[in-house]
């Protein structure tokens, strides 16, 4: 199952990266006489309500989403690992401070911080800068939940017999961390990474309502998924579901590539 | 047997339940007719509160209601009402000029914070109230009050004592309220109005307003027959309903509500002077206007249920619209020629001004309002033909409002008005240069341009003018100036779309609020 998943995932990434060469039309060109057209030669997936080619938009959206959502998830997971590792240090003050920071990050109304970010950005900010900042902020804001999971796992490890045995054998802390602790955390990190990707894709769609996220006419899976709010559009053209299908496919592939905790150990 | 058959239609007619049901999108905040400040309470006030006069929504002429007659006097400074005899509230207590006086004084009391009082006052000054006898009352202002008679269309006469569910002076009264669920109105058996045959109105026994925030669910419930009307449909829902229930949807033609864009012309710190120079140039605004494909917008965004706008007054407002004005014509070449005269040059695909600045601006609009987002995308695409780059930015409504009214940190905006009255004074706060809603440069101390000074004069003159024909001339000139200067570039008037159950009779829907419900006392089921 791992190989097909890898191939499919690689295919999706290649499709996204090769969008400028594969897309039959510019993603923002409005074929106004073809608005909301059904699939037909020239528009294999039909057009959206402004007459833009759905296939071209999906390819470009894949490029944005497969690059930025995993990047944001990576930021979150790395920050979470870093802070959880610090929390494992003997200092109670550090552990308490990080626990407090975690609690604060979990309880902050992030939506308002995004609104503030938007208000601080110039209205003529390049869409690419805006979307990069948005995903970066999502990545920073999102460390707290995986952070809890990592901290719990690390605390559990501290009392484990194998760790005492490693210490007794005279292994250096760095060696213990890389050779023994990391395999325990790796599968957990992958699971958290996988969970965060769709969360960020969907968050980006919601942030579009605040003028953040990916601004029109640039497509992303998130803003393409907004079409699903209109059942009549989906009924008229089932290709509207393509971004959802692609998102689900990527999630399944990531799931297949995520080793179970037991296997990792 | 013959007699029984003759009686059968009457029996069957009597069996038809006379309860009208429809949805409102939220709880009414209150039932005090003087404190209404949002649309759901406004609907209930319209159905329950008796008024001295009512503007006929089909003729736009004020007609007597609780007053059997009224007279505007002293050049629009005063108005005298003579009440009908034997008026009563829904609980049977008499309604006299003393009740009208008490209502007006409570509304005008600044401590009450009544929005009704705000419309009745002239600046900070309250009018003088004189009660001549139990059936006659006069209001007198120090100076002519614009549209003095029409003001009373929304002044409901309040009962002596405010209770949780107060008695009413109108066709219905609030009988029951279940928060989050429904408001039940019952017919007022003491209502004064009768039909030509002497039958007391209203015909309906009750009206149930279900509280339903989700418009899609409201539409589904209408399709199931649980609701009898939808007072406002969007284009997609209209088309969907037309496929299954063609006989129940109606397009009332262009609405009073325009969609438009405007440029920030205020001397804001965040707006570079060279950009402000573009926005204050009428030639620049005309060029932008002439490159917008309004027909495409109507067809694509509103599925054909919209019409290009001619100006601030919709073609639906037949009396007040300047019939000589036509919608702007698509003329990209003409637009480029106008820009060239102003020193703009098109190099490659980029328009540059005299200072060699590439012409690029941001266009803000309300996030989540799909038609406006779509219109903004179309405008951005259309303006490529002039070499102008437009960055569409959608913002939440709070941020948007803050930028266009307080911080003035924006370049161009796309929004729309919802007009609740056909009278041209309705938008006075937009057109007076001192107005807080003077879109392109709010609250000017003195008019920035000669044409704004002229608009100020025309607006004040039309509001004080008593002769309708003279007023029309002033309003026509105002519309002509707006077209010549285009401080606001009008795009479309979306059509007003409604759904009404075919079993509901007496319906005369109009584009002026409350659309289907304006003659609620005449509605009935057959």
Per-residue pLDDT tens over the stretch B264-274: 999 988 899 99
Q: Any chain B CB within 8 A of the CB of A215?
A: yes
Q: Does position A111 have pLDDT exceeding 80, yes or no?
A: no
Tell how strand B78-83 and strand B67-73 pair up: antiparallel
The residue with greater pLDDT, B456 or B12, is: B456
Domain ranges (residues) in chain B: 15-228+501-525, 259-495
The pLDDT mean for chain B works out to 91
HEC secondary structure over B415-474 = EECCCCCCCHHHHHHHHCCCCCCCCCCCCCCCCCCHHHHHHHHHHHHHHHCCCHHHHHHH
A–B interface: beta-carbon pairs under 8 A: 67
Candidate from B365-369, B419-423, B455-459 with smallest mean pLDDT? B419-423
Question: What are the structural domains of chain A?
Answer: 2-264 (1.10.3720.10)
* The pair of three-digit structure tokens given for residue B287, joined into one six-digit string: 């060029």
> Could you give phi then psi for residue A13, rounded to 5 degrees?
-65, -45
Candidate from A22-36, A186-200, B39-53, B87-101 with smallest mean pLDDT? A186-200
Q: Does position B368 have pLDDT exceeding 70, yes or no?
A: yes
pLDDT at A113: 79
CA distance B478 to B471: 11
What confidence category does residue B84 fall into, taking pLDDT thresholds of 50, 70 and 90?
very high
Which residues of B make CB contacts under 8 Å with A?
Answer: 236, 240, 293, 296, 299-301, 360-362, 364, 367-368, 373-374, 376-378, 380-381, 391-396, 399, 409-411
Q: Any chain B CB within 8 A of the CB of A116?
A: no
CB contact under 8 A, A50 and B410: no
CATH classification code of B259-495: 3.10.105.10
Q: Any chain B CB within 8 A of the CB of A39?
A: no
> Quick count: other Cβ atoms within 10 Å of Cβ A156?
10
* The pair of three-digit structure tokens given for residue B463, joined into one six-digit string: 């509001």
CA B279 and chain centroid, separation: 28
pLDDT at B180: 94
Q: Any chain B CB within 8 A of the CB of A211?
A: yes
Proportion of chain B above pLDDT 90, given as a percent:
73
Residue B330, min C-alpha distance to chain A (Å): 16
- Which of chain A's residues have a Cβ under 8 Å away from the Cβ of B382? none
- Report, as an integer, the average pLDDT of B278-306: 97
Q: Kindly calculate the radius of gyration of chain A based on its CA atoms and give it in whole angstroms.
A: 22
Candidate from A121-125, A257-261, B203-207, B240-244 with smallest mean pLDDT? A257-261
pLDDT at A265: 43
What confidence category does residue B9 fall into, taking pLDDT thresholds of 50, 70 and 90?
very low
- Report, as an integer, the average pLDDT of B96-107: 95
- Which of chain B's residues have a Cβ under 8 Å away from the Cβ of A51? 300
Tell how strand B19-24 and strand B128-133 pair up: unpaired
- Report, as an integer, the average pLDDT of A241-254: 86
- Counts for chain B of helices (H) and strands (E), in that order: 15, 22
Dump pLDDT digits (tens) for A160-195.
888 888 888 888 888 888 888 888 888 888 888 888
CATH superfamily for domain B15-228+501-525 = Periplasmic binding protein-like II (3.40.190.10)
Q: Does position B505 have pLDDT exceeding 90, yes or no?
A: yes
pLDDT at A259: 60
CB contact under 8 A, B394 and A215: yes
What confidence category does residue B478 fall into, taking pLDDT thresholds of 50, 70 and 90?
very high
Dump pLDDT digits (tens) for B112-139.
888 888 888 877 788 999 999 999 999 9
Residues with Cβ < 8 Å from B406, sequence gap 6 or more?
A: none
């Amino acid at each position: 199952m791992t190989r097909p998943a890898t191939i499919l995932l690689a295919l999706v990434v290649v499709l996204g990266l090769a969008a400028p060469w594969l897309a039959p039309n510019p993603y923002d060109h409005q074929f106004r006489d073809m608005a909301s057209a059904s699939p037909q030669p020239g528009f294999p997936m039909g057009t959206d309500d402004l007459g833009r080619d759905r296939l071209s938009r999906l390819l470009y959206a894949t490029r944005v989403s497969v690059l930025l959502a995993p990047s944001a998830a990576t930021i979150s997971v790395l920050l979470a690992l870093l802070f959880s590792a610090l929390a494992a240090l003997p200092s109670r003050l550090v552990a308490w401070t990080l626990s407090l920071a975690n609690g604060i990050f979990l309880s902050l109304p992030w939506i308002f911080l995004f609104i503030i970010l938007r208000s601080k950005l110039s209205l003529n900010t390049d869409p690419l800068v805006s979307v990069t900042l948005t995903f970066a902020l999502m990545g920073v804001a999102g460390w707290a939940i995986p952070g809890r999971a990592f901290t719990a796992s690390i605390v559990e490890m501290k009392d484990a017999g194998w760790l005492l045995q490693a210490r007794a054998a005279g292994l250096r802390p760095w060696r213990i961390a890389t050779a023994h602790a990391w395999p325990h955390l790796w599968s957990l990190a992958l699971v958290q990474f996988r969970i965060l990707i769709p969360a960020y894709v969907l968050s980006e769609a919601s942030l579009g309502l605040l003028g953040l996220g990916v601004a029109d006419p640039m497509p992303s899976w998130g803003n393409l998924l907004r079409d699903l709010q209109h059942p009549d559009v989906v009924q008229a053209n089932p290709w509207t579901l393509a971004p959802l299908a692609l998102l689900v496919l990527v999630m399944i592939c990531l799931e297949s590539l995520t080793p179970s905790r037991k296997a990792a150990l | 047997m013959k007699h029984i058959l003759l009686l059968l239609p009457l029996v069957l007619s009597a069996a038809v339940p006379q309860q009208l049901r429809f949805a409102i999108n939220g709880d009414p905040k209150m039932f005090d007719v003087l404190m209404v400040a949002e649309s759901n309470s406004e609907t209930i006030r319209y159905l329950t509160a008796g008024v001295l006069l009512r503007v006929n929504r089909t003729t736009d002429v004020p007609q007597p209601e609780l007053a059997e007659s009224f007279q505007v006097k002293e050049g629009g400074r005063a108005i005298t009402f003579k009440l009908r005899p034997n008026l009563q509230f829904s609980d049977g207590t008499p309604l006299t000029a003393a009740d009208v006086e008490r209502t007006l004084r409570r509304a005008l009391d600044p401590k009450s914070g009544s929005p009704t009082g705000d419309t009745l006052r002239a600046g900070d000054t309250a009018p003088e109230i004189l009660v001549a006898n139990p059936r006659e009352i006069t209001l007198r202002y120090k100076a002519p009050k614009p549209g003095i008679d029409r003001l009373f269309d929304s002044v409901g006469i309040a009962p002596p004592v405010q209770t949780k569910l107060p008695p009413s002076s109108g066709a219905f009264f609030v009988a029951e309220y279940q928060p989050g669920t429904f408001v039940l109105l019952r017919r007022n058996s003491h209502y004064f109005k009768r039909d030509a045959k002497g039958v007391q109105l209203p015909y309906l026994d009750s009206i149930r307003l279900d509280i339903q925030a989700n418009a899609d669910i409201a539409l589904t419930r209408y399709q199931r027959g649980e609701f009898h009307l939808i007072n406002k449909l969007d284009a997609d829902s209209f088309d969907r309903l037309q496929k299954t229930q063609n006989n129940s949807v109606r397009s009332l033609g262009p609405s009073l509500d325009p969609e438009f864009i405007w440029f920030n012309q205020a001397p804001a710190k965040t707006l570079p002077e060279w950009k402000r120079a573009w926005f204050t140039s009428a030639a620049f605004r005309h060029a932008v206007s002439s490159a917008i494909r309004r027909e495409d917008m109507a067809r694509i965004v509103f599925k054909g249920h919209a019409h290009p706008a001619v100006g601030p007054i919709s073609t639906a407002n037949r009396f007040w619209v300047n019939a000589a004005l036509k919608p702007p014509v698509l003329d990209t070449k003409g637009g480029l020629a106008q820009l060239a005269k102003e020193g703009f040059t098109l190099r490659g695909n980029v328009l540059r001004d005299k200072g060699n600045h590439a012409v690029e601006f941001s266009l803000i609009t309300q996030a989540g309002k799909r038609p406006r987002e779509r219109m903004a995308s179309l405008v951005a695409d259309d303006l490529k033909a002039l070499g102008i780059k437009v960055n569409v930015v959608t913002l939440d409504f709070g941020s948007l409002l803050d930028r266009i009214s307080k911080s003035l940190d924006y370049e161009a905006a796309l929004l729309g008005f919802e007009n609740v009255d056909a009278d041209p004074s309705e938008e006075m706060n937009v057109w007076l240069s001192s107005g807080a809603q003077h879109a392109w440069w709010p609250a000017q101390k003195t008019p920035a341009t000669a044409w704004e000074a002229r608009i100020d004069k025309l607006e004040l003159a039309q509001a004080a003018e008593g002769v309708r024909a003279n007023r029309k001339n002033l309003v026509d000139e105002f519309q002509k100036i707006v077209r010549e200067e285009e401080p606001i570039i009008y795009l479309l008037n979306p059509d007003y779309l409604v759904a009404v159950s075919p079993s509901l009779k007496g319906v005369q829907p109009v584009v002026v609020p409350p659309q289907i419900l304006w003659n609620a006392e005449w509605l009935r089921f057959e």
